[in-house]
Amino acid sequence: MDDLGNIHQIIVHLGGWDLAFNFEAMVMTWTVIGLLLLFGFFAVRGRSLVPGPIQVVGELFVFHLYGLVEDTLGKERAKTYGPLICALFMFLLLCNWLGTIPHLEEPTKDLNTPLSLGILGFLVAHVSGIRAKGFKGYAKEYIEPFPFMLPLNLVGEIANVISISFRLFGNIMGGSIIILVISHLAYSLVLPPFLLAFFGLFVGTIQAFVFTMLTTVYISIQVK
Amino acid sequence: MMIQWDAETVIKMAAYAGAGLCMGLGAIGAALGEGYTAGQANEAVSRKPELSGEVFKTMLVGQAMAESAAIFALVVAMLLLFVNFPTHSWLFAMSSLSAGLCMGLGAFGSSIGSGFPAGAACQGTTHQPAMGGRLMTTMLIGSAVCQTPAIFAMVVSFILLFSNFSAQPFNPAWAALLGAGLATGFAAIGPGIGGGLVARAACDGVARNPERAGPVTNIMLLGQAVSQTTAIYGVLISFVLIFRNNEATTLIAPSAALLAAGLCMGFGAFGPGLGLGVVAQNAVKWISRSEAGTGDITRLMLVGMAVTESTGIYALVISLLLIFVV
């Protein structure tokens, strides 16, 4: 119970600036990246028409997520954005599932991870919007329907980033708090596996999917 | 005998009051949601008595989901009763009371909301007995996403319970802490109910047209996620209120502004949350019926939601102005 809300930080002094590094979030993020690279390596090694078990899992991800992106963005744009969306979903899924293993923590429990992914999606969406419509067409949308709506439209765009990242952060953080507290109150008997299955695996999957889907939708709103 | 009004007594009093309010308020919504589910199950069984076993199973699972927000409230209430909070600052009294209010109010909407898909799933089981498994999955996903506002309320109440406020000056900080609890608590109500409406339409749609189960589930998730946006604004305002640096003052006006910011965002989130839910509910309903217009309906839904949400954004702007400018 005492480690609730404790964050291990490494603080580096650099020319008058204090740079704080959240130790656990960084280590766990690199763990996830390493595991995904391993998965990718084994999935494409020895590709064949009759796929091996790991290749099947990889194909499953690619097939379903490409289908989703094609539904939202159209066939042509899916080739550009498909790999990004696939990578985003697989990264988030593994991040959210990592907490079910003892001594490991979800990197998404740290607000920095969802927020940076949210900002990434925001930048991708807006750069695609400028590329698809030209800067003039892009900027014109901010003064619609009336020019005085400009500040509210700007707040609305920034609110999108905040809502997408806080949604993921709140759910994962909330799940891990519930698991910690209920396990503590029940002396870690019987309940923890069910809580981990529900909040770790089930809610983790849903939230990874919601985040991915919202990023796709934000891109599709900008490019259309 | 005189009552000793020292910090320890007042903090204990506040914690007990918070625990009572937390569980009391938290029980309202769960009972309503579960009652709705049971009522729908009765209707379904009266239509097809031979399927009563299936309906009974669906009803129990759905009611268990609808109860989870009340269980969060129970956990917070138990902690308020049995954890000894530090007594060196009077602010801990306000933070315990606020945590209780936050979780109690926050459990209200999600519990009612997750009763809706459970009821629709009970009805759907009798319409399409073969699709029982698929309906159960849709219901579980829908109810799990409905819980998000309640989970936000729980995160905020835990931060209120276990953060250290002893460095903060009492005068504006008490209002900030109370406002933080009320902002998330009230903001969770509308989105919780709205998300439930979307999930009900999805369960209904899957039962009516099982072939469209895939797109219906996707649009349901999208609609629920967007209708929770205003609850997230509430969490944002709570975080700003909890973690800002308050300057000590003897005036009452700064405190009033902070409390008002919390109330503004809390109440301002109610309408948009519910309204966004209604938009997505209808979108899901028509997507389940016709294959042709899915893309157009989705785009119209998102544009309609963006406009519906604007009043929530006004509330967010006014709250931020109250906190940082006034």
Residue entry with tokens 């008595």? B49
Q: What pLDDT digit, counting tens, does each position of B214-245 carry?
A: 889 989 999 999 999 999 999 999 999 998 88
Other C-beta atoms closer than 10 Å to the C-beta of B82 total: 10
User: Token pair 């008002």 is at which residue?
Assistant: B260
Nearest Cα to B65, choosing from B144, B149, B145?
B144
Chains A & B: contacts with CB separation below 8 Å = 90
Query: Can you tell me the distance from the alpha carbon of B326 to that of B320, in angstroms, rounded to the nearest whole number?
Result: 9
For chain A, give the mean pLDDT.
87
A130-144, B17-31, B149-163: lowest mean pLDDT where?
A130-144
What does the block give as tokens for B166?
A: 């002893």
Q: What is the largest CA-CA distance in chain B?
A: 78
- Residue A185: φ, ψ to 5°: -65, -30
The secondary structure of B308-320 as a DSSP string is: HTHHHHHHHHHHH
The two tokens of residue B216 are: 């219906």
Is the pLDDT at A1 greater than 60? The verdict is no
Distance from CA of A27 to the nearest CA of B (A): 24
Chain A: give the shortest CA distance to residue B126, in Å: 27
Q: Which residue of B has its CA nearest to A218?
A: B302
Instruction: Quote the distance between the C-alpha of residue A7 and its chain's center.
Output: 21
Q: Is residue B66 a part of any domain in this protein? A: yes
pLDDT of residue A3: 56
Contacts of A209 in chain B (CB under 8 A): 221
Whether residues B317 and A152 touch (CB distance < 8 A) is answered with yes
Q: Which two tokens stand for residue A198?
A: 């529900």
Residue B121: CATH number of its domain? 1.20.120.610
The per-residue b/e assignment along B170-194, b for 16 or more CB within 10 angstroms, e otherwise, is ebbbbbbbbbbbbbbbbbbbbbbbb
* CA A214 distance to own-chain centroid: 10
Token pair of B264, please? Answer: 């503004």
ipTM of the complex: 0.82
Bond into A53 cis (ω within 30): no
Contact yes or no for A163 and B233 at CB 8 A: yes
B276 CA: distance to closest CA in chain A (Å): 15
- Residues 174 to 193 of A: which have CB under 8 A from any B CB? 174-175, 177-178, 181-182, 185
Give the Cα separation of B290 and B311 in Å (integer): 31
In this model, does residue B105 exceed pLDDT 90?
yes
Q: Give the span between the Cα atoms of B47 and B37, in whole angstroms.
A: 16
> Which of A:60-89 have CB within 8 Å of B?
68, 71
Reported as a single tens digit per residue, the pLDDT across A160-202 is: 898 899 999 999 988 988 888 888 888 888 888 888 998 889 9
When computed from its CA atoms, the radius of gyration of chain B, rounded to whole angstroms, is: 22
Binning pLDDT at 50, 70 and 90, where does residue B291 land? Answer: confident
Ramachandran angles phi, psi of A20, nearest 5°:
-100, 125
Q: CA B326, CA B322: separation in Å to the nearest integer? A: 5
A159 vs B221: CB contact, 8 Å cut-off? no
Does residue A6 register a pLDDT over 70?
no
- Reply yes or no on whether the pLDDT at A62 is more than 60: yes
pLDDT band at A75 (very low <50, low <70, confident <90, very high): confident
Q: Taking CB atoms and an 8 Å limit, are B232 and A178 in contact across chains?
A: no
Distance CA B112, CA B114 (A): 6
- B143: chain A residues, CB-CB within 8 Å: none
How far is residue B120's CA from residue B85's CA, in Å, rounded to a whole number? 44
Nearest CA in chain B to A168: B148
Return d(Cα B123, Cα B43) in angstroms, integer.
Answer: 8
Tell me which chain B residues have a C-beta less than 8 angstroms from the C-beta of A203: 144
pLDDT value at residue B1 = 63
When CB atoms are compared, the residue of B144, B215, B302 closest to A202 is: B144
Look up residue A11 and give its amino acid.
I
Helices (H), chain A: 23-44, 53-73, 75-98, 112-140, 150-185, 191-195, 203-223
C-beta of residue B25 within 8 angstroms of C-beta of residue B106: no
- The closest of A211, A162, A110 to B320, measured between CA atoms, is A162
Asked if A177 and B309 come within 8 Å (Cβ–Cβ), the reply is no
The pair of structure tokens assigned to A171 is 């759910």
The C-alpha angle A176, A3, B150, rounded to 5 degrees, equals: 30
Q: How far apart are CA B209 and CA A60, in angstroms?
A: 25
B296 CB contacts (<8 Å, ≥6 apart)?
A: none
Is B1 domain-assigned? Answer: no
- What is the pTM assigned to this prediction? 0.88
pLDDT at A4 (0 to 100): 59
Helix (H) or strand (E) holding A12: strand A9-14
Q: How many domains does chain B have?
A: 1
The answer to whether the beta carbons of residues A223 and A128 sit under 8 Å apart is yes
The count of residues in chain B is 326
* DSSP string of B44-85, one letter each residue: HHHH-GGGHHHHHHHHHHHHHHHHHHHHHHHHHHHHHHH---
Question: Does the beta-carbon distance from B222 to A167 stay under 8 Å?
Answer: no
Condensed to tens digits (0 to 9), the pLDDT of residues B246-282 reads 888 888 888 999 999 999 999 999 999 999 999 999 9
β-strand partners of A13: A18
Q: Report the range of poorest mean pLDDT among B11-25, B179-193, B293-307.
A: B293-307
Token pair for residue B73?
Answer: 């409230």
Return all residues near A40 (Cβ < 8 A) that are at least 6 apart: A58
Nearest CB to B302: which of A4, A155, A217?
A: A217
Q: Considering only CA atoms, which of B132, B22, B121, B125 is closest in space to residue B66? A: B121
Of B59, B193, B31, the C-alpha closest to B120 is B59
Q: Is B2 inside a domain boundary?
A: no
Q: Show the domain range for B77.
A: 7-324
Please state the rounded mean pLDDT for residues B185-192. Answer: 95
pLDDT at B26 over 60: yes
Mutate to test the interface with B, among A178, A212, A216 (most CBs of B within 10 A): A178
Q: Which residues contact B12 (CB under 8 A, 6 or more apart)?
A: none
pLDDT in tens, B299-322: 888 888 888 888 899 999 999 999
Asked if the structure places residue B317 within a domain, the reply is yes
Indicate the DSSP class of residue B248: P
Q: Both tokens of residue B228?
A: 């929770």
- Judged against a pLDDT cut of 80, whether residue A145 lies above it is answered with no
Q: Greater confidence, A12 or A106?
A: A106
